[in-house]
Structure 1
Amino acid sequence: MNKNTKKTIFWTLLGGFVAANVMVYKHAYHFTHVKDGERSLSPESLSFSQKLKILLGGISLPKSQNITSSYTTSTRETIFIPTRKNEYNLECWYDKVENSKGTVILFHGYGGCKSSYELEAHYFRQIGYSTLLVDFVGHGGSEGQEISLGYHEADDVKATFDYIKKNQNTENVILYGSSMGAASILRAIAVYQLKANKLILECPFATMKQTVKGRFEVMGVPSKGLAEWLMFWGGLQHGFWAFTHNPQHYSKKVITPTLLMGGKNDLRVKNWEIDKIYENLATKNDKKELVWINAGHESYVMAEPNVWKKAILNFL
């Protein structure tokens, strides 16, 4: 092999390595930043050509939009709460109930928004609790474009919790979260030692690696190596080491009474992940509950309303 051939091979391999990293960097960026455009279909709904397009160029994730619902109350207040060292403002809806038993703060999942949880909030108000529906940074009416899958969103949980404790004169604060929202609560409790009265968590993922792997697996794409590569660049873009963002570890510091719910048919958050988080909860056995819902990665109150409502009522 002559010298010129070796140079050609070297530069070809180097070029391929750089191009591959640029592609993965773009993937991580599109996965964790909102932009204008049409939203990509859920991984389960993609055709082969659509999967190929996403693998080459990344997903399209426009900022979620809140919609008006029949559950909007006449006394609703729109509140803006500063977060992350006052860099952003969170748009929140506060609905006060007369003779309230306390306040439930509701946090949505990845790419969602507060209006998606109007049905859950309506039920909490029916049983006597005021509610605060929250848009995370980069979602709905809140400022920003970044999504860190629960890492920096923990700051948003703390900001809204502190606001309610300070401004609404309530001693009883319950944190409710689904998917990324649940992971954000677990991190906030572990990092900031929030003194919430109770937690209601739906389908939190166990580790950052597992939730990234799950996206590839749902698409039918091998995840080994790719998931770690994506996490490396995604974490660097958001200023943290993604490999340590693990709700199953955060749960070891949770001493707050906790209701944990999982979907029996969830393809994104595996049943073992829910079991692991439940096992790790530092709360005593009589202060934690695990309820399985006959559902996938979806709204539990819509999938099994009677089971969900009974579990909530019994827990509260």
Structure 2
Amino acid sequence: MNKKTALISTGAIGALSIGALGLIGNYFYNLALNPNTSKDSIFGTPEEAKSTSGEVLNKNVDWLLNKSNFSNEYIKSFDNLKLHAYKILNEIPTNKWIITVHGYTSKGLDMSGYAKNFYETGYNVLIPNLRGHGKSEGSYIGMGWYDRLDITKWINLILNIDENAQIILHGVSMGASTVLMTSGEDLPYNIKAIIADCGYTSVWAQFSHQLNVLYSLHSFPIMNASSAVTKLKAGYTLKEASALKQVAKSKTPILFIHGDKDDFVPYSMMEELYDATTSPKEKLTIEGAGHAKASKVNPELYWSTIENFIDKYLN
């Protein structure tokens, strides 16, 4: 084989390799971040997908839709998406607000149990549908990264209603990582505390974990290819979407909650996030709880810890 032929062969192999990686990256992008693609290979059933926000009870959904006197609220995102949230004003006037954020492939309605509990504790409640979920527009799942900017817009909506609002951010699973990513932004003094229930450290770390669990594959080169496709289609890379980097900039007190039997978002991630946080912080382990099951396994400890933590920072 002469030099010219060898170069052509090498170039062809390289082109084929790049093409194959592109196809692989696109496959995993669609699997993980396209909201219109079935997630059965990740969760098994739609019911398991809903559980990324915890236990969803019909009685709580009925309360939200038929008894809470909610209103529909909308904002425009920085990239011109129409985003939706449920707003519930407490029957007893208050300046205490909770923004409670759902998990991966879930929706705002699936946070109805948390919303009801916060409402009964005396809060006004805002429940966003994250981009690509529920009634919100979006052609990709933001995994918390662009969602953090959306949350700051929801904060501004509350402040336009009540400039003296005292706002708590609460999230479960992807919702937890969303509020943790929000923590690193320049937030108004009205944000008093953050509760993060079973959040992941970064999108790269979470997807790498699932790649290994589901397919017994290493992150290289699949994660690299998937990240490149994500940058092309969604505008962000999987490595930049990091809750770890954001909590290191946080000035807001954060309570971390995680079940020690969580095998979807590894329990060890709570320790990493806690160690990286520079603001006031606490952590709670719920023994025997799987992913997003902390409030079900030990509701008394879950809610009393949240209440005691919040009380330290409300005026």
2:290 corresponds in structure 1 to 296
Partner residue of 2:118 out of 104, 110, 124: 124
Maintained 8 Å contact 1:44/1:218 = no
- Cα offsets for 1:148-189 (capped at 9, x unmatched): 211111111101011001124442111111222222222223
- Cα offsets for 1:225-259 (capped at 9, x unmatched): 02233223213322234322221111111121221
TM-score, structure 2 as length reference: 0.83
Give the count of matched residue pairs: 292
- Cα offsets for 1:104-145 (capped at 9, x unmatched): 011111211101110011110111111111101111011122
Segments of structure 2 that go 5 or more residues without pairing to the other structure are: 46-57, 311-315
Segments of structure 1 that go 5 or more residues without pairing to the other structure are: 47-66
1:32: how far off? Answer: 1.7
Query: Which amino acid is 1:41 matched to?
Result: D
1:203: how far off? Answer: 1.5
More moved, 196-205 vs 300-309: 300-309
Give the Cα–Cα distance (whole angstroms) in 1 for the partners of residues 150 and 199 of structure 2.
17
**Alignment CA distance shift 1:156-1:110 (3 Å):** same
State the SS of the aligned residue for 1:70: helix
2:20 corresponds in structure 1 to 19
Give the Cα–Cα distance (whole angstroms) in 1 for the partners of residues 203 and 188 of structure 2.
22
2:302 corresponds in structure 1 to 308
1:43: how far off? Answer: 2.8
1:41 corresponds in structure 2 to 40
Q: Aligned ranges for residues 3-152 of structure 1 at < 5 Å?
A: 6=6, 11-12=12-13, 14-35=15-36, 39-41=38-40, 43=42, 45=44, 69-72=61-64, 73-84=67-78, 87-97=80-90, 98-100=92-94, 102-152=96-146
State the SS of the aligned residue for 2:278: coil
TM-score, structure 1 as length reference: 0.83
1:101: how far off? Answer: 5.2
Partner residue of 2:166 out of 172, 176, 179: 172
Maintained 8 Å contact 2:132/2:141 = yes
Maintained 8 Å contact 2:83/2:130 = yes
More moved, 232-241 vs 116-125: 232-241
Give the Cα–Cα distance (whole angstroms) in 1 for the partners of residues 228 and 10 of structure 2.
27
Maintained 8 Å contact 2:201/2:243 = yes
1:260 corresponds in structure 2 to 256
Query: Which amino acid is 1:176 matched to?
Result: H
1:267: how far off? Answer: 1.5
Give the Cα–Cα distance (whole angstroms) in 1 for the partners of residues 248 and 17 of structure 2.
42
**Alignment CA distance shift 1:299-1:71 (3 Å):** farther
Query: Which amino acid is 1:216 matched to?
Result: L
What is the alpha-carbon root mean square deviation over aligned residues?
2.7
Maintained 8 Å contact 1:164/1:170 = no
**Alignment CA distance shift 1:12-1:295 (3 Å):** same
Q: Aligned ranges for residues 177-216 of structure 1 at < 5 Å?
A: 177-195=171-189, 196-216=191-211
Partner residue of 1:162 out of 146, 152, 156: 156
State the SS of the aligned residue for 1:191: coil
**Alignment CA distance shift 1:44-1:146 (3 Å):** closer
Give the Cα–Cα distance (whole angstroms) in 2 for the partners of residues 104 and 251 of structure 1.
20
Identity percentage over the alignment?
20
1:282 matched to 2:278:
yes
Give the Cα–Cα distance (whole angstroms) in 1 for the partners of residues 188 and 263 of structure 2.
31
Maintained 8 Å contact 1:208/1:242 = yes
Give the Cα–Cα distance (whole angstroms) in 2 for the partners of residues 267 and 30 of structure 1.
19
Give the Cα–Cα distance (whole angstroms) in 2 for the partners of residues 17 and 283 of structure 1.
43
Give the Cα–Cα distance (whole angstroms) in 1 for the partners of residues 305 and 95 of structure 2.
18
Query: Which amino acid is 2:74 matched to?
Result: F
Query: Which amino acid is 2:63 matched to?
Result: Y
- Cα offsets for 1:88-115 (capped at 9, x unmatched): 1221111111133501011111211101
State the SS of the aligned residue for 1:80: strand
Give the Cα–Cα distance (whole angstroms) in 1 for the partners of residues 232 and 124 of structure 2.
39
1:45: how far off? Answer: 4.0
**Alignment CA distance shift 1:291-1:175 (3 Å):** same
Maintained 8 Å contact 2:158/2:165 = no
